[in-house]
Chains A and B, each alone.
Chain A
Amino acid sequence: MNVGLEQFLTVSFLLFALGLLGVIMRRNLLVIYMSLELMLNAANLALVSFSRFNNKLDGQVVVFFIITVAAAEVAVGLALIVALFRKRPTAHVEDLATLKL
């Protein structure tokens, strides 16, 4: 049995579903952020496998940009979490339910 595009896409979908489950169900701000990274990685895997099985390198360039943007996004997001934590020392999303700090 040869491994083709469908197997890689199935792994990517399951990984995306796991990340989505984490974003919906976990209540810790940092774990939600890690699940977001998992979803980004699932998209990366789908793009790389499409690129491989269609003989085009464009998908891998897009993944390169996604990784760069994800690094910047993590830096900004974690800075926001730290700033939020200074105002209100909790990492639980249900304690951060008000609009005004």
Chain B
Amino acid sequence: MESLNSLLDGTVVSTCLFYLFATFTLVCAALVVANPFSRNPVTSAMFLVLAIISMAGLFLLLHAFFLAAVQILVYAGAVIVLFLFVIMLLEIKEELRRRINLFGLFAGILSVGLIVRLFLACLHQSPVTSAANPSIEGDTASLGKLLFTQFVLPFELVSVLLLVAMVGVIYLSSKDSKSRISASSSGTEPGVGKESSAVSQSPNTSTAASTQTKH
């Protein structure tokens, strides 16, 4: 622990590590958003893993040891696996190149550039208050103490939120709710016979595909 702290606070080493991790995070994030070599969502997910892991390195440099571990466990371990699982389940083909909407491209780049400009102007013109020598340690014991004293109500509410999310996901992905929705939609809309038959045909084939992948 002592050696780790001395490594993190040694000015030259920590500065080099900061620039290394920051560059790696930004490059991987750029490759998530726009990869010139591949349009496959799996590639984006893999670069998202790399960006998240190097961001855990940035958390380590900020002495947030517990959050770095949680970041790797939850994001790289659970969220990305969920993403990859859905990508494989949906069997999305490589994205076809479509005509780029020039107005959308221009508007997107313009708005993002203005937002970056606003952020940097805020950063440079308002005084950033920071302690003279930061000495806080985000280890598990101090964070847990705070979590079970001052933040105990939000902590319990988050557990309720997880329960609600779990029930919601189970309801959304169960077969019963799907057939009920399609039955009610076809029952109340008699005028769209051709469309609804085409729509009700597609769920059957996709469920057949999903049950095949499950087995």
Contact = CB atoms under 8 A, between A and B. Distances in A.
Interface of A: 1-11, 13-22, 24-28, 30-31, 33-35, 37-38, 41, 44-45, 48-49, 51-58, 60-61, 63-65, 67-76, 78-83, 85-89, 91-92, 94, 101
B79 A11 contact: no
A24 B112 contact: yes
Chain B residues touching A, majority SS: helix
Given A20-B111, A61-B151, A75-B169, 7 more contacts: A11-B25, A21-B34, A34-B45, A44-B55, A52-B138, A61-B147, A67-B67
A95 to B, nearest CB: 10
10 contacts: A18-B26, A18-B32, A27-B95, A38-B33, A48-B62, A51-B64, A67-B67, A70-B79, A79-B172, A83-B172
A49 B26 contact: no
Interface residues of B, number: 84
Interface of B: 11, 14-15, 18, 22, 25-26, 29-30, 32-34, 41, 44-45, 48, 51-52, 55, 58-59, 61-64, 66-67, 70-71, 74-75, 78-79, 82-83, 86-87, 89-90, 92, 95, 98, 104-105, 107-109, 111-112, 115-116, 119-120, 123, 128-131, 134-136, 138, 142-143, 146-147, 150-151, 154, 158, 161-162, 165-166, 168-169, 172-173, 178, 199, 202-203, 206-207
A85 B90 CA distance: 7
B131 A71 contact: no
A24 B111 contact: yes
A2 B146 CA distance: 30
A71 B173 contact: no
B203 to A, nearest CB: 5
B58 A82 contact: no
Contacts of B143: 57, 60-61, 64
B147 A64 contact: yes
Contacts of B87: 30
A87 B30 CA distance: 32
A9 B138 CA distance: 19
A80 B172 CA distance: 7
A68 B14 CA distance: 29
B147 A28 contact: no
A46 to B, nearest CB: 10
Contacts of B166: 75
A10 B11 CA distance: 19
Contacts of A71: 74, 78-79, 162
Contact of A60 (B51, B67, B95): B67
